[in-house]
């Protein structure tokens, strides 16, 4: 629950996580809360400050850049493995969805629906890889960047460009071209980073 609240900005950066209040809310001992906070700290979502307790971490621009560097490589690998291991019929179904309902979501400005369907597709790709370590690493990065993703997608032209890029990735996957799918997915990540860098003073 705390991971979800942090990822969706229900608990924004700088929010204090009081052990006593959380113990009461969830009906668990404070020791269980401390264990949960330790896990969140390990995942880079909170930091525990002496005499202040745990607070939600605020990402610095340099940290965002580092995350995108790593995400580019991992997402590219994911696209490669999903192309090699997943069925073409599976990706053809996803491509049809991107060219139909997903395109309609963007045209109508239904970005919450677009993000929901995109995250479902991304999860499907990760599952197709059959690599638990890759999945864990991608999930960890997503938790730390999910709010940024939601802010970047509303920037001028980003949703339309992202849709075109994802569609191109899927076309490569349907064709069974793992090299091209990886290259296009990595280009998609670099494009998202470029939008972040251009508008970062409005995002962070």
Tokens of 166: 């994802």
Domains and CATH numbers, the chain: 2-56 (1.10.10.10), 61-203 (1.20.120.530)
Q: What is the pLDDT along the chain (204 residues), one digit of tens a residue?
A: 998 888 777 898 889 999 999 999 999 999 999 999 999 998 888 998 887 889 998 888 899 999 999 999 999 999 999 999 999 999 999 999 999 999 999 999 999 999 999 999 999 999 999 999 999 999 888 888 887 888 899 999 999 999 999 999 999 999 999 999 999 999 999 999 999 999 988 887
């Amino acid at each position: 629950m705390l991971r979800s609240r942090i990822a969706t900005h229900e608990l924004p950066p700088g929010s204090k996580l009081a052990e006593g209040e959380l113990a009461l809310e969830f009906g668990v001992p404070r020791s269980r809360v401390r264990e949960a906070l330790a896990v969140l700290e390990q995942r880079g979502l909170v930091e525990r400050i002496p005499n202040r307790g745990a607070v939600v971490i605020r990402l610095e621009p340099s940290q965002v850049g580092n995350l995108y560097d790593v995400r580019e490589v991992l997402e590219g690998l994911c696209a490669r493995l999903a192309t090699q291991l997943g069925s073409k019929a599976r990706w053809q179904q996803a491509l049809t969805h991107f060219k139909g309902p997903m395109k309609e979501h963007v045209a109508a400005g239904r970005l919450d629906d677009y993000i929901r369907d995109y995250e479902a597709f991304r999860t499907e790709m990760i599952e197709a890889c059959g690599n638990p370590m890759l999945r864990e690493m991608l999930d960890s990065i997503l938790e730390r960047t999910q709010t940024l993703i939601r802010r970047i997608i509303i920037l001028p032209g980003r949703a339309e460009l992202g849709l075109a890029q994802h569609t191109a990735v899927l076309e490569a996957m349907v064709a069974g071209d793992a090299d091209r799918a990886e290259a296009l997915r990595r280009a998609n990540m670099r494009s998202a980073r470029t939008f972040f860098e251009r508008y970062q003073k409005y995002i962070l």
